[in-house]
Chains A and B, each alone.
Chain A
Amino acid sequence: MADPSPQPPPSASTQLPLQPLQQLAALTELETPSVAPSVAETETSGPTATATPELISAPSPAVSYTIIVPSFSAWFSWDEIHDTERRLLPEFFDGKSTSRNPSSYKYLRNAIISKFRSQPTSKLSYTEARRGLVADVGSVRKVFDFLEEWGLINYTPPKKGKEETEARGALGKKDESSGKRICTSCGAVCSLQCFTTAKANMTLCAKCFVKSNYQRPGLSSADFKRVDLLEEPRPDWTDKETLHLLEAILHYGEDWKKVAEYVASRPVKDCIARFVKLPFGEQFIGPKEEHNGYTEQGGGDADENESIKRRRLSPLADASNPIMAQVAFLSAIVGPHVAETAAQAAVSALSNLGANEATDLTEPCVSETNEELDEKLYSTPCCSVNGCGSDLSNCRDYHRRHKVCEAHSKASIVLVGGQEQRFCQQCSRFHLLSEFDGVKRSCRNRLDLLNFRRRRPQSEAVNTSLSSASHQDSAVGEPVVSAELEIEEEEQELEKSFSDIIEVQMKEMQEKLVRFEEMDVIMARERLQVQYLRDLILPDQLAIAQHQHRLAMMARENVSTWEKLRSTNDVIDRGTTLLL
């Protein structure tokens, strides 16, 4: 690899706290042949400046790829050891240990860097690096950490500046092609599935995996994970393609092969998936009718969609509510247009009925509610609970509108009008206590409605219309008030769910605390046990020490007796010689 000669004044732009030397020099231009125009923005203001990488082109023979080295590591060269290295890895250069010497350092450094550069796109892990190196793992780790910190390995330039995009363009293409999953053993492009193993960083196509053609026999089939690639190459559908798709569907109906042919670039499954996901019904924001869901979907696109959509509607027919089932069934049979007109007629009839019945009541009601609304918003009301005349001008609109202070809106029992009541958060009024289950803050009717509504989101519109039709309180002719009610309901739901979440988390914490306490107890017990064991061993140790002591004593005695014998021997000898 051709590396440029080390740039004389290395830039001081560095994020590392390790560099004590203050070599301030602005590297504004490089004389090296670079692929992109050199970066002119080099900040040299000091240690807080971010590093701006510059391009040092080092094309390797096999792949024309630019290895990018940050400017603060421009001193690097293959054949020499720079001062920086000497300073930062002193243990290799001080001669204290024999296995760490300059030549071994160089060997390690060059080996690691060449290993990284053989596969510049993938990050070289420490374990991979130390595998092929003959050295103790501590030294490898030191060199590896040093190189990684200085960006000589595992370095990808940060994404900023137009000059970078060019470099990244070159990089990116390589990435994409490598992201397209080329099998490492046979080199084919894996389209359907590939099998990856993290242990050796390999990707095999299905054929090679079946053949068990692993590069390294240390791997077994269990090490491989399967990755399905069907979803991966999925660029977005352009408008043109969508148009083609729709035309094709119009022509060919459900013959997906022909449709895929017509839409040039997409396989069959993509076509189907895209078609199913096409948005419908934005054009059809009609009044909330019974068959709203169905008509939206049915009328939104070409008629050929009907057959498919019908199949998707069958879940609607599976309604526990027998009326809904009937309705869905009938509408499915009859067809969208007829159903639409029928529904419209039905609803208008209903509303007329409702209006007629309640004309006497609704009109003053309407006017009353309007008045009340005005009152509540613009005057300073008081809470309607008996005995609580708190001023509500500081509370939210909601409280003012319904004439209840915050405390009493959440109280379980309040006295209103001489009766025990509770404020229902859904209806936003007081109900008799008997209407509530337990400590719930919404009356039974509303809760049932809610749960029912929640269980069937696609017939939500239907239910609200049905329920509103059946609830004589809010007749069909008051959409505004019902909308407001629903908004408030949503708010309440949100608050409730928040408090639920918090409760659950608190419970979690409590349980953790309990468990930790238990662990503490266990630890204390074990500590006691260990101490006990230690105490047990103590007498044995003492016995051994005594024994040894005794042995030593005996040995000394032996020696002394021996000495005595020797001396007596001497005396006897001398005596005999004297005698003789």
Chain B
Amino acid sequence: MLGRGLKRKLSDYEESMAGLSSAFDSSRSLPYPLKRQLVLNMCLTKLQTYKMLVEPNLHRSVLIANTVRQIQEEMRQESSQQPVNICPGIAPASHSYTGMESPGIPLQLPSGVEDISPPTCLVPTGDDQPKFPENTGLKLEDDRQDLKGAECVFGSFEISNSTSYLKDLAIDDIFEDIDTSMYDSDFCCPPLMPPRSPSLATEEPLKTFPSCNSSSANNIQICRTDLSELDHIMEILVGS
């Protein structure tokens, strides 16, 4: 979710996506994981767009969800064979949040590996697979949701972890590394700085907090509140 004042240009997004998919089609040199990531991003973006429709197309949603599932399964198998890396390696995980917070954010893939959604790059849980944010809204007891179809399709993703995931982590740990200004809600903060490739080891993110109303000393406090609000915001987003 972007802070106030930063406009996301849809046309730029479309152009960059078009450029990416052409690159996918024409380039044989794009590494497979990158291609896979691109496709996954496109899928998630589409699903996010469909979510905003009153009546998503069930057929398309099913096809896209199956594609996502297939990619995630592949990633799952791969990562179960490899030791888990923190962040840069787990680019997929990051994009679930990207998809959630802002459909259509330009996904600068080559640099996307060092993505800007730090919370997800954190300590991997046992299940480090990309979460499907939409699923938090899949309270399938609701028949109305049932009939909407698209959302219900994604039931197999273990999304229920995502909200509790953040609560479990020690907040201090998070704030050592992370720039969570992205997750500030409207009434809290500020225009964002353009996302920087975070280097997790540095303390810099704290300093790069954009013009918060409060002083930098209060940043940590603010961010603590932010985090609990993050859950709230997520619920609003996916529940809407």
Chains A and B bind each other: no
Interface residues of B (CB under 8 A from A): none
